[in-house]
């Protein structure tokens, strides 16, 4: 149990983060997987000069940041100029992958604390990063602001692709608020961990905001090759018990996403209870008519 919990934490240091980064020496299968996602994205740009994709998922630790970083590296390797924005203003981690300072970033720009858009070069050719900046009290509001529109319009003049790492859809509204500002979402599902209800709830949320899901990544963190998650696939969850146990008020992640988690948990439980009741009723009717 301890072992698994440790494996679920987001990398705290650049060395830990770097291990997960795509490089020419990454296994062929991994490079190919990113190439194929990249190809899909390059064709779903809707003819825009600079498409903007947000990488998101239903819950925490699904692999959003890892995949946003690697997708950005993969696109940059095609000589396209890519900007990766750390849009997880609640739990910024992108700067750790590239060993960057997290000052004068997205939150400061959106809050009007600086006029300077400090886009940083990385060691990866063609890849630039806008870090998240200090943790603000109102990230969702900042995402919804006119400043966010202005920022995107501004960076589109300098880049071919913009990727935004975001927090989980089921826990906070930040990612969904971007729906009408971006080309689409790349939705990460973690194999063997995400429950169907979580995924369907997240997709519904995005669609209700008129968001466009342009691709899904099945993040096989429990995969057989190259994974440090050995055995994680066997650690199964089941729907309601999972929500109640994992994300209650005192939940493991409550420091970061406390405002919405209980609401979401209650809503999902309510929806599932309603579905269970309807199914029971239908079965009872069927049994009755079979008699």
Among 21-29, 62-70, 210-218, 237-245, the segment contacting ligand ATP (CB under 6 A): 62-70
In SS3 terms, 5-51 reads as: HHHCCCCCCHHHHHCCCCCCCCCHHHHHHHHHHHHHHHHCCCCCCCC
C-alpha 1/C-alpha 288 separation (Å) is 46
Q: Which residue in the set 38, 64, 128, 193 belongs to the binding site for ligand ATP (CB under 6 A)?
A: 64
Binders in 227-286 for ligand ATP, by CB under 6 A = 227-229
Residue 160 partner contact from Mg ion, ligand ATP, none using kind-dependent CB cut-offs of 5 to 8 Å: none
Partner residues linked to 83 by β-bridges: 128, 162
- Measured over the CA atoms of residue 56, residue 257, residue 114 and residue 129, the dihedral's sign is negative
63: contact with ligand ATP by CB under 6 A: yes
Distance, in Å, from the CA atom of 57 to the CA atom of 217, rounded to the nearest integer, reads 9
Please identify, among the stretches 173-181, 225-233, 242-250, 275-283, the one whose residues bind ligand ATP according to the rule CB under 6 A: 225-233
| CA gap 52, 277 in Å, rounded | 41
Task: Tell me how far, at minimum, the Cβ of 273 lies from ligand ATP, in Å.
Answer: 27
Interaction mask 47-86, Mg ion, x per CB under 5 A: -----------------xx---------------------
The tokens describing 177, both together, are 């608020």
Residue 50 interacts with ligand ATP (CB under 6 A): yes or no: no
Beta carbons of 240 and 269 less than 8 angstroms apart: yes
| Smallest separation (angstroms) from ligand ATP to the CB of 124 | 17
The residues that touch Mg ion, with contacts defined as CB under 5 A, are 64-65
The residues that touch ligand ATP, with contacts defined as CB under 6 A, are 10-11, 20, 57, 60-66, 88, 91, 93, 168, 219-221, 227-229
């Amino acid at each position: 149990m301890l072992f698994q919990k440790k494996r679920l934490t987001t990398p705290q240091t650049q060395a830990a983060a770097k291990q997960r980064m795509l490089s020419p020496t990454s296994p062929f299968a991994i490079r190919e997987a990113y190439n194929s996602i990249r190809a899909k994205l390059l064709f779903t740009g809707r003819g825009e000069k600079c498409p903007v994709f947000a990488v998101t998922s239903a819950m925490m630790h699904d692999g959003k940041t890892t995949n946003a970083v690697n997708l950005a590296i993969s696109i940059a390797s095609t000589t396209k100029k890519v900007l990766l924005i750390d849009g997880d203003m609640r739990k910024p981690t992108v700067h750790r992958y590239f060993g960057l300072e997290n000052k004068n970033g997205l939150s400061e720009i959106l809050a009007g604390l600086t006029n300077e858009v400090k886009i940083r070069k990385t060691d990866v050719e063609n890849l630039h990063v806008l870090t998240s900046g200090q943790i603000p009290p109102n990230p969702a509001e900042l995402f919804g602001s006119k400043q966010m529109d202005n920022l995107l319009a501004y960076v589109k003049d300098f880049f071919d692709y913009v990727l935004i790492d975001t927090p989980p859809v089921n826990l906070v509204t930040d990612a969904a608020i971007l729906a009408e500002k971006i080309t689409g979402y790349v939705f990460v599902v973690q194999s063997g961990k995400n429950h169907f209800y979580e995924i369907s709830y997240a997709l519904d949320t995005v669609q209700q905001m008129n968001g466009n899901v342009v691709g899904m990544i099945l993040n096989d963190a429990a995969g057989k090759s190259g994974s440090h998650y050995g055995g994680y696939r066997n650690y199964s969850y089941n729907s309601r018990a999972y929500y109640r146990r994992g994300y209650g008020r005192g939940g493991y992640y409550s420091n970061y996403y406390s405002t919405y988690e209980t609401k979401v948990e209650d809503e999902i439980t309510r929806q599932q209870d309603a579905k269970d009741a309807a199914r029971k009723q239908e079965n009872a009717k069927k049994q009755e008519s079979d008699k």
